[in-house]
Amino acid sequence: VISEEQAKKIIAGGHEHLFTDATGTYTSFIPDKSIFKKTIEFEYRSIKTRVRERAYLVPKLYFHLSDETSGESTNFYFESGIKSLVDHLNTHKKALHDVVYMTGSETVEGLKIGVEVAFQYNDSFSENILSFANVIRTYDGGTHLTGFRTALTKVIKDYMTKKMGDSKNKIELSGDDLKEGLTAVVFVKMSSSDIQFESQTKAKLNNMEAQSAVYSIVKAQLETYLEEHPGEAKKMLEKAELAARARMAARAARDAVVRKGVLEGTTLPGKLADCQEKDPALCEIYIVEGDSAGGSAKQGRDRRFQAIFPLRGKILNTERARLDKIIAFEELKNLIVALGTGIGETYNADRLRYHRVILMNDADVDGEHITTLALTFFYRHMKEVIEGGYLYIAMPPLFRIEIDKKEQYVYTEAERDTILEANKGKKIILQRYKGLGEMNPEQLWMTTMNPKYRMLKKVKINDALAADEIFTVLMGDEVPPRKKFIQVNATQATLDV
């Protein structure tokens, strides 16, 4: 097996495979500028992600990707296909058992469908499932994913019933309990003329035949696997039972605060300074670090459409926290209420009260840490807020420069240096903002909250594999991967001194 870090030669079947003069197909094209009017530049990272996915989906096929403009190049070769992909997704997590691999084909109503599924449980609390149809990534899932979920839930619940019968210790599992710590890849293949997607984006598969085929193959083969591997089956059941107990504890905690009128109903947290507008599409909420900055933001905002939610200190690291712990954490509980979506089994993205959720923190190490903790929470528990394009990061200025009594705000050190160089010899007053609290309400409004002048970064998930990995590395329990990440990226750090 060769990885993108190695990739000089491939050894397969006892032979070394190197570049040769063998015949093949060479395709070249020139983008039509009349169609691609905005840009004809290609993003290497996006192409690399797609090529890597193809290499996982077509095992033992060698891919070489090179960018002649930058000199970057990468090679991909995976011996075990989607099993290798599951291994990769769980690289920085503790796997609870070997990868379970199921494959076969079914003919449903005259349509032949090939099915490949691989999954593995790990010690995390989040789910990570990738689905593909004819090597096209179906980001929104679809019928093939429904077939897998339905089969997995039925087989494991039936297996538990068979092993435990009517035991008093038996726990009633739900489909959500089987999501915790699950990493899976679902891949279906069918005639391109028969495949049906929900829209032109091809993000969701619509063929009902695919659901039937995946369900049939997974159900039959997983039943056999559990019977033949009782040790692995036990680990899966134990994981599901822990998730079920956590779900019941979270429900009890949630019911307790609901009885107090906190998580549901019309009661909003007292620290929230809400806006007057009620249409979510026109509303935005600033999640602000500290009462001082929160006070300035409340005074400087446009209360017609801007709400302010001040955080008191750093929130819980939710990468390794179960739902009951999250609900018990006061700051997160109040934030969930303010957003209106609920969480866990009651989560509903359609109830989001603001279509701009803006993280606004100090431009220092602590501020960046708080932003990272908030991003972890949204990625693991409210991913639809990110996928819907509702999550943003505010960009407060780093400097205030006054030249001949005229002030301007600067957002980068490079921009500062350019301005100072261009105004040598003039009377210059330079102020470095260490925190949002150093700005008065008028300055905060003008620089960071006024839609006409502010700078916002929209949070996007361009590469789901990389996103899941980076949250696991940076926010998980394992120290060695985090140490390696810091060593590799140390030269990109900006010291706050």
Rounded to 5 degrees, what are φ and ψ at 31?
Answer: -60, 140
String of DSSP letters for 69-93: TT--EEEEB-TTTHHHHHHHHTTTS
As given in the structure block, the two tokens for residue 87 are 């291994």
User: What are the distances in angstroms from CA 360 to CA 296, 386, 454?
Assistant: 12, 16, 12
Q: Kindly name the residue from 106, 180, 274, 289 that is annotated as catalytic.
A: 289
Q: Among this protein's residues, is 302 annotated catalytic?
A: no
Q: Kindly name the residue from 198, 366, 384, 463 that is annotated as catalytic.
A: 366
Distance of CA 303 to the CA centre of its chain: 31
Q: Among this protein's residues, is 366 annotated catalytic?
A: yes
Q: Among this protein's residues, is 421 annotated catalytic?
A: no
Query: How many whole angstroms separate alpha carbon 480 and alpha carbon 486?
Result: 10
3-state secondary structure of 359: strand
Contact by Cβ (8 Å): 255, 279: no
Q: Kindly name the residue from 364, 407, 413, 417 that is annotated as catalytic.
A: 364
Q: Kindly name the residue from 53, 106, 319, 362 that is annotated as catalytic.
A: 362
3-state secondary structure of 50: helix
Q: Among this protein's residues, is 477 annotated catalytic?
A: no
3-state secondary structure of 10: strand
Pairing type for strands 399-403 and 428-432 reads antiparallel
Contacts for 339 with CB less than 8 Å, ≥ 6 apart: 285, 352, 353, 354, 357, 382, 385
Residue with tokens 């949204």: 378
Phi-psi region of 71 (alpha: psi -120 to 50; beta: other; left: phi over 0): left
3-state secondary structure of 112: strand
Contacts for 354 with CB less than 8 Å, ≥ 6 apart: 280, 283, 284, 285, 307, 339, 390
Q: Which residues are catalytic?
A: 289, 362, 364, 366
